[in-house]
A and B are shown apart, each in its own frame.
Chain A
């Protein structure tokens, strides 16, 4: 076989189109006769709807139609619960899901009330101003603790205390562990995660073709197959009549996996009703309300340790803000609950959470998906313990790492994928060692920091560990097919938002079938190209779809060998597949793959029973459970004690995601994750007032990090293969984002010498102004 493609830093197949402005995104779809939609959205967080008068809007020139919930008739229905709660005994779960257009009540700012269809988007927006709405404002439920009292209003009239869910999981016996503890540390932690803010907002274009009886939907979704199946059911169509295309999608990071967004339900219905193509593109202001986000949790956590700093147990009780509806079930808080355990031996664990409905936009997973919240709690507890027990911060982590011979390591609680939280493989100490070496930990503490402090500079170091559950089921599939032109086509059901699927899947197949990576044409996110699949989420594309591609590639390789052996009347062992040809070793005889593919679909002659035409195979892969990646981030930061602005002097990531398919793409995933983690740690916060109004709904006020806030990062990898899939890979999509919050808190504390002065940074996000407030007592 020629040079191995799998594992090489190969540049991407998709880039030429993207770099020349030729890649199709949803807003690029232009169809004759298209109508443009604009949604009238609630400008208050909580109100009863007394009436909506759309008559003036309907009368405006250029307006074709205006619809409210009433007009949807029987089509109007709350969306499904996408992810039901895992089977955890005693779980309370009150499902309340979003509706296509609000009826009776609005429950968050931005909830859609009506849709206008007009000849242009401008005209549609003009007409929004013609609609008269009569709303009876209700007290907004905003604060998580107040929400549970009888004095608070109710987001859903029939849900007392605004309780969306209660879940309790435990391992061992925390109370008994406490009895033997030398130290018990208890704190309250606040962790707020923000908006994913892809540079491309959401959008939907729908076109009903009455001649073909087919509905085509271009959607920025991360889950095209689910969208097709769901919409077909809602619209009374067969699945084959609905084609969902997720073309190039300009970033997702989680919220684009959410479905069915109201606009996704309304736009296809309108297209069929009016028999016209319809486009809706979310604007940036809408994005802050209409697209799901993550937000805050309040943790009251406790850690019990022995005299040497070994963890005896952890207890955690937390509140989770789920927003106005909970279609995504418990994924985010379950991730928080599970990921808190990190890479550590925590023999006794007792964790209970309450998810609260609030009059705020819906919370669904955003890169990290609640893992950050849990990691923040355990990492901060260890920092505080290290300080109180006078143990080095890296050392206390080392003492508690799960040893390499303890895998698979079962944490004895249930994870988001409904399986026991069991780590498949790992070797954590070398990762920590490598990170400490790369950041220069010992030398910094012994020499650099004292020297710089003597110069009056405020520099600090941090080190944070984490694990990431990745690559969960249920399954993905792939079809690999040799084309008559000698190229190879790969189709899968997942969507792609920049992860490099067009290249990594091609690398897998290129090795199997002896072709160049550039000769593998990968299709993702088109339900007419591949019928089944779940979607792109939970760092699972490469793991689950990648292994399906591998299985299909293997099967096609066998077909190639079998057919070529018949063709050449030789043994399969005498054949070699390379350079796009099958040749008989040592004879000079060869046939191009394209020619062989044509032979696999003969026009005449009998075929043997059981023979399949074409050089193609469709295979599915479903892992028994998720593969657990792990890593350590370390950083040196300088803080300006006057302005509390930061300069990151060094940032190190050491990461283990098993076998690496493409190190260049992997580095990109890590870099991007860290950048989002930095935004979360220090720059981004969705600020709601007491009335549930978002006060900073623009990119001028909600601060995404720029090239000046994101530092150069030094990356290294260790490889502990996953035994759960043949390629041995683990996911990497979320790894960069997960431990940045606690790392910032720790390093900033160190830089300002806060621990010595009894100031702890037990919340994220921080910011210059928040640091100023938190250190007020020192001035």
Chain B
């Protein structure tokens, strides 16, 4: 049994956290169960579904494929940090709501984090680019069409 532990300092959504973690603790479990930031969801734990996507030093990253110990000294952004509060959503969140881009909502946090960076890098995407960028995130409810429309709408609003 692995009892090896590490002392880590991780900044999540701007807040620094110091914790002692088991070497084998996944970053996704650390965020969800140690920091109680349960907005990051876990769908497959083998890096396929994308639900657990967070930003690791600004880069969309699957938190189920990393150990918490690897995050020592790094900055993480999760869905909880996207909106200032429930009444002031990020334009991407607002567009997802306007376009009915989510149903059960389980894959949504990973999609938001992936698309946030995509729109920063591709401010005027066409449909094919959006679909390509979305293709690493599985959604079982929506058939993607409303998500694509939401990303288009968010891109328009962000450009204004």
Tell me if A160 counts as interface (CB < 8 A to partner B): no
Cβ–Cβ < 8 Å partners of B159 in chain A:
none
CA distance A672 to B106 in the complex (A): 14
Q: How far is the CA of A670 from the CA of B37 in the complex (A)?
A: 33
Verify A668–B48 contact, CB threshold 8 A: no
Among residues of B, the one whose C-beta sits closest to the C-beta of A121 is B29
A162 to chain B, nearest CB (A): 32
Q: Is the interface of B mostly helix, strand, loop or mixed?
A: loop
**B131 engages A708 (CB within 8 Å):** yes
Q: Which of A20, A27, A122 is close to B83, meaning CB atoms less than 8 Å apart?
A: A20
**Is A11 an interface residue when CB atoms closer than 8 A count as contact?**
yes
B43 touching A284, Cβ below 8 Å: yes
Q: Could you pull out 9 A-B pairs where Cβ atoms are within 8 angstroms?
A: A11-B97, A15-B97, A251-B140, A251-B141, A665-B100, A675-B140, A675-B144, A698-B44, A706-B136
Is A731 among interface residues, defined by CB-CB distance under 8 A? no
Complex contact B140–A712 (CB within 8 A): no
Interface residue count on the A side (C-beta < 8 Å):
61
Q: Are B106 and A25 in contact (CB under 8 A)?
A: yes
The complex places the Cα of A728 from the Cα of B103 at a distance, in Å, of: 24
Contact A198 B1 (CB under 8 A): no
8 Å CB contact of A27 from B32, B130, B137: B32
User: Do B107 and A712 touch across chains, with their CB atoms under 8 A apart?
Assistant: no
Contacts of A196 in B (CB 8 A): 140
Contact (Cβ within 8 A) A30 B104: no
Q: Choose, from A394-402, A492-500, A551-559, the stretch at the interface.
A: A492-500
Interface bin, chain B: 35 or more
Cross-chain contact of B138 among A18, A126, A668, A704 (Cβ < 8 A):
A704
Q: Would you call A22 and B140 a contact (CB within 8 A)?
A: no
Complex Cα distance, B134 from A22, in Å, reads 23
B100: which of A22, A497, A667 is its contact (CB, 8 Å)? A667
Shortest C-beta distance, B157 to chain A (Å), equals 15
Inter-chain CA distance A622–B139, complex, in Å, is 33
Q: Are B134 and A707 in contact (CB under 8 A)?
A: yes
Interface presence of A776 (CB below 8 A)? no
A22 in contact with B135 (CB, 8 Å): no
Q: CB of B22 within 8 A of chain A? A: yes
- With a CB–CB cut-off of 8 A, which chain B residues contact A27? 32, 38, 42
Is the pair B145, A710 in contact by a Cβ cutoff of 8 Å? yes
If the complex has contacts A11-B97, A674-B143, are A498 and B104 also in contact, measured as CB distance less than 8 A?
yes
Q: Contact at A18–B105, with CB atoms within 8 Å?
A: yes
Nearest CB of chain A from residue B2's CB, rounded to whole Å: 8
- Chain B, 1-54, CB within 8 A of any chain A CB: 1, 22, 24-25, 32-33, 36-46, 48-49, 51
Chain A residues contacting B103 (CB-CB under 8 Å) are 251, 498-500, 668, 672
A residues in contact with B98, CB < 8 Å: 11
Does any Cβ of B come within 8 Å of A280's Cβ? no
User: Within the complex, which residue of A60, A665, A707 is in contact with B131, where a contact is CB–CB below 8 Å?
Assistant: A707
B94 CB, min distance to chain A CBs, angstroms: 8
Interface residue A88 (Cβ < 8 Å from any Cβ of B): no
Contact with A along B103-128 (1 / 0, CB 8 A): 11111110010000000000000010
Report the Cα distance A239→B147, complex, angstroms. 42
Contact B39 A20 (CB under 8 A): yes
Assess whether A708 is in contact with B135, with CB atoms less than 8 Å apart.
Answer: yes
Among the stretches B55-63, B65-73, B74-82, the one at the interface with A is: B74-82
Rounded to whole Å, the gap between the CB of A670 and the closest CB of chain B is 8
Nearest opposing residue in chain A for B97, CB measure? A15
Contacts of B44 in A (CB 8 A): 284, 698-699
CA distance A735 to B139 in the complex (A): 18
In the complex, chain A residues 691-722 whose Cβ is within 8 Å of any chain B Cβ: 698-700, 704, 706-708, 710, 712-713
| B148 contacts chain A at the CB level, 8 A cutoff | yes
Contacts of B105 in A (CB 8 A): 14-15, 18-19, 23, 248, 250, 498
Residues of B with C-beta under 8 A to A497: 104
Interface residue ranges, B against A (CB under 8 Å): 1, 22, 24-25, 32-33, 36-46, 48-49, 51, 78-80, 82-83, 86, 89, 93, 96-98, 100, 102-109, 112, 127, 130-132, 134-148
Q: Are A21 and B140 in contact (CB under 8 A)?
A: no
Q: A172-209 CB contact bits vs B (8 Å, 1 = yes)? A: 00000000000000000000000011111100000000
Q: A20-B39, A122-B24 are known contacts. Are A712 and B145 too (CB-CB below 8 A)? A: yes
**Given the complex, which residues of B lie within 8 Å of A11, measured CB to CB?**
97-98, 100
Complex contact B142–A284 (CB within 8 A):
no
**Given A16-B89, A671-B142, A672-B141; A251-B104 close (CB under 8 Å):** yes
Across the A-B interface, give the 7 residue pairs with the lowest CB-CB distance, nearest first.
A21-B39, A250-B106, A498-B104, A18-B105, A671-B143, A498-B103, A675-B143
Q: Is the CB of B48 within 8 A of A707?
A: no
A498 touches B141 (CB 8 A): yes
Additional 15 contacts, C-beta under 8 A, given A61-B1, A248-B104, A672-B103: A11-B100, A17-B86, A20-B82, A20-B93, A21-B38, A21-B79, A199-B51, A199-B106, A251-B104, A498-B104, A498-B141, A500-B100, A668-B103, A706-B134, A713-B145
Q: Please, how many angstroms separate the alpha-carbon atoms of A15 and B105 in the complex?
A: 8
Q: For residue A667, which residues in chain B have a CB less than 8 angstroms away from its CB?
A: 100, 145-146
Contact A16 B97 (CB under 8 A): yes
Per the 8 Å Cβ criterion, residues 18-45 of A in contact with B are 18-23, 25, 27-28, 30
**Residue among A25, A250, A713 with the highest chain B CB neighbour number at 10 A:** A250
How far apart are the CA atoms of A249 and B103 in the complex, in Å? 10
Q: Check A12/B97 contact, CB under 8 A, given A199-B49, A498-B103.
A: yes
Q: Which residues of B contact A671 (CB under 8 A)?
A: 142-146
* Contact present for B142 and A200 (CB under 8 Å): no
- Closest B residue to A251 by beta carbon equals B104
Of B48, B80, B105, B107, most buried by chain A (CB within 10 Å of CB) is B105
* Cβ contacts under 8 Å, B80 to chain A: 20-22
Check A126–B141 contact: CB distance below 8 A.
no
Whole-angstrom CA separation of A59 from B141 in the bound complex: 44
Closest to A668 in B: B100
Give the residues in chain B near A122, CB-CB below 8 Å: 22, 24-25
Contacts of A499 in B (CB 8 A): 103
Give Cα A16–Cα B82 distance, bound, in whole angstroms: 12
Residue A664, interface by CB 8 Å? yes
Across-interface contacts of B139 in A (CB, < 8 A): 199, 707
Residues of A within 8 A of B38 (CB): 21, 25, 27-28, 30
Distance A14 CA – B22 CA, assembled complex (angstroms): 36
Known contacts being A197-B140, A199-B138, A699-B138, is A283 close to B45, with CB within 8 Å?
Answer: yes
Could you say which residues of chain A place their CB within 8 Å of the CB of B134? 706-707
Cα–Cα, bound, A23→B102 (Å): 13
For residue A197, which residues in chain B have a CB less than 8 angstroms away from its CB?
A: 140
Instruction: Check A21 against B145 for contact (C-beta < 8 Å).
Output: no
Chain A residue nearest to B134 (CB atoms) is A707
Contact A249 B104 (CB under 8 A): yes
Q: Which residue of B lies closest to A706 (CB)?
A: B135
Decide if A19 touches B97 in the complex (CB within 8 Å): yes
Let me know if A269 is at the binding interface, CB within 8 A: no
The reply to whether A250 and B41 contact each other, CB–CB distance below 8 Å, is: yes
Judge if A676 is at the interface, Cβ distance under 8 Å.
yes
A759, CB-defined interface residue at 8 Å: no
Q: Is A253 an interface residue (CB 8 A)?
A: yes
Distance in Å from the Cβ of B42 to the closest Cβ of chain A?
Answer: 7
What residues of chain B lie closer than 8 Å to A500, measured between beta carbons?
Answer: 100, 103
Known interface pairs A19-B112, A122-B22, A675-B143. Does A200 touch B106 (Cβ–Cβ under 8 Å)? yes
Closest A residue, CB atoms, query B147 = A707
Question: Known: A126-B1, A707-B135. Contact between A21 and B109, CB under 8 A?
Answer: yes
